[in-house]
Structure 1
């Protein structure tokens, strides 16, 4: 008793976006985004490395670095290149 293949459909692969479409972000956006993510990771690493609860690095420096990294990520998402002025 074989099943009928008539009702089985093969999922097609999604087609790639046309190459003429512009990218969502410019290269600078991606660089800024990576810098922001690196700052967040460094901030959490600073916080984890120092095992003291009231230490200067884990209580003061690390949160400032983490907030700076998050602000950098937001800036990277919102940054838009200026349009070229037609002269």
Structure 2
């Protein structure tokens, strides 16, 4: 057995930090931000109802979804990880 095979055998697989749900939520948040800025640009009025009220709410909700998707943890991954005793 070569040294490379022994090294690969000894390595433990680390679980991914993001699950597919995290990536979907991240994409949804980015999409909301883009839609908000696009709606603000399309109306092209300073005091328009869309650019003054709706677009900032859509953009803010997009940022909230992005932050949530980054901070969300999968409880299954936490249960399967080995605990270290101190």
Q: Could you say whether these structures have the same fold, taking a TM-score greater than 0.5 normalized by the shorter chain as the test?
A: yes
Mark the runs of 5 or more structure 1 residues left unpaired by the alignment: 1-17
Q: CA RMSD in A?
A: 2.2
Q: What is the TM-score normalised by the length of structure 2?
A: 0.72
Where do 4+ consecutive residues of structure 1 move more than 6 Å? none
Q: 1:52 aligns with which of 45, 58, 77?
A: 45
In the alignment, is residue 41 of structure 1 matched against residue 53 of structure 2? Answer: no
Deviation at 1:83, TM superposition (A): 2.9
Partner of 2:58: 65
Secondary structure of the 1:80 match is: coil
Max Rg structure: 1
Q: Which runs of 5+ in 2 are unaligned?
A: 1-10, 80-86
What is the alpha-carbon distance in structure 2 between the residues aligned to residue 19 and residue 57 of structure 1?
52
Aligned to 2:19: 26
Cα drift, residue 32 of structure 1? 0.3
> Paired residues, what number?
69
